[in-house]
Amino acid sequence: MKIILVLLGTALLFLPLITIGVRKLTGASARNALMSNVAMFFGLFLLTSVLGLSGAASAAAPEAAATAAAAGADGLVTGLKYIGAGLAVGLSGIGGGIAVSSSAAAALGAISENESMFGKSLIFVGLAEGVALYGLIIALVLLFVS
């Protein structure tokens, strides 16, 4: 069962590359490729959530797995910890990307009109990138500080 789940996860991870290749060969629309990539992402997210919540992804010895199963909610806590860390990194990365895209476009416009605005615009773009770093720090705290 674990081998099938690992193979399914690997297939979901590499299928976007296949859709990109098919799109280049056939000239299909970008909307179809985007929808398939989104579907594969959520499929992989669902797969990792099931593995994390069930405790099937642990590589512990059978004795340790038996004691963890006896503990009951330990697997649930660990799975939710990983989901929280993933959401912290993912959502902060999306927010940081949106912030950088808008601030960088405005910065390029300001620099094209007045070259002395480079330093100020660089500060604003750097502040927007900080959002993603904060999400990474929160994820590291969730994973390694108990």
Half-sphere exposure of 24 (CA within 13 A, CB side): 5
Instruction: Give the mean pLDDT of the chain.
Output: 78
Q: Is the pTM of this model over 0.75?
A: no
Rounded to 5 degrees, φ, ψ at 73 are -80, 0
d(CA 106, CA 71): 54
pLDDT tens digits along 5-62: 677 767 776 776 777 777 777 776 666 666 777 777 777 777 777 766 665 555 555 5
